[in-house]
Amino acid sequence: MTDFHRNRASTMNLTVLGIGLMGMPMAKRLREAGFEVTAWNRTREKALRLASHGARVAHTAAQAVRDADIVITMLDNGEVVDSVLFGQGVASVLKPGTLVIDMSSIKPSQARQHAARLRELGMAHLDAPVSGGTVGAEAGTLAIMAGGEAADFERALPVFAPLGRATHVGPHGAGQLAKLANQMIVGITIGAVSEALLLCAKGGADMAKVREAIRGGFAESRVLDLHGQRMVENDFVKRAALTVQLKDMRNALDTASELGFEAPVTGLFEQLYASATEHGFAELDHSALFCELARRNGMR
């Protein structure tokens, strides 16, 4: 973080709404960067974990945002974002000119609707979903994809700096489009790596050695590296939830339908992730699509 960003942090009040798997490490990094942070979470006990890091914890979302210059939302889906912003009184108590940065993963159409409603109330908005999971959130190496006005993106840069690398990808909704592209690629690649490793295991090869052998070739990817290792070690503890991956695939399909775009590969993988949730893997990491494909082949 540069001296310029540190100076900006010392004069800026932030509120983080949603202190879950991602919101907790992100809020912690913002406190460590010098921001005054107020936190709110539906389950208050989760937000209270930030108190030891110097954050204030509010009882309600509306109380949390009253003095905020910038509000960050990291919530489950677009419906929850809508409920918190407009159903729980947040938008009605924001100071004029407050910048709302929605870092949740929601539909592009929902992001555009939220931006329009906030603009009518005199507020600014960015949709800025992230990729990198809890590992990236803890390390401050998230990929941040931002949609909205260029001036608002520049205003948000000191906030983004402790969290990762931010890119302005276009107007309102474009950040969510970029996140859907990311999730399509990640979700489909998890399936490809799973199926390939399982085929090798079925034929008698050592999965770990196969993964080692193909790394560095054209099959190399972050998914083969991290998720492939989880498959080899049978480690599917949730870092990025399989249910969230399914939600993102469905959001991608809904968006494709709105645009008149055919996405057959994404459609196939939506069915596979849905099947995984139906067969007991819903509470695992999204790499647990491996378990569903193993089940189908009598290997689990």
Q: Alpha-carbon distance 15 to 186, whole Å?
A: 30
The torsion angles phi and psi of 33, rounded to 5 degrees, stand at -85, -5
What the block records as the tokens of 175 is 């950040």
Kindly name the residue from 28, 179, 238, 247 that is annotated as catalytic: 179
Q: Alpha-carbon distance 171 to 167, whole Å?
A: 12
Is 24 exposed, middle or buried (CB count within 10 Å of its CB: 0-12, 13-18, 19+)?
A: buried
Residue 224 C-beta-side C-alpha neighbours within 13 Å: 19
Q: Alpha-carbon distance 224 to 232, whole Å?
A: 11
Kindly list the distances between the CA atom of residue 158 and the CA atoms of 5, 11, 90, in Å, as whole numbers in the listed order: 5, 11, 23
Picking from 95, 104, 16, 103, the residue whose alpha carbon sits closest to that of residue 58 is: 16
Q: Sign of torsion, CA 178 142 52 236?
A: positive
Tell me the longest C-alpha to C-alpha distance in the chain: 65
> Can 46 be counted among the known catalytic residues?
no
- Residues with catalytic function: 179
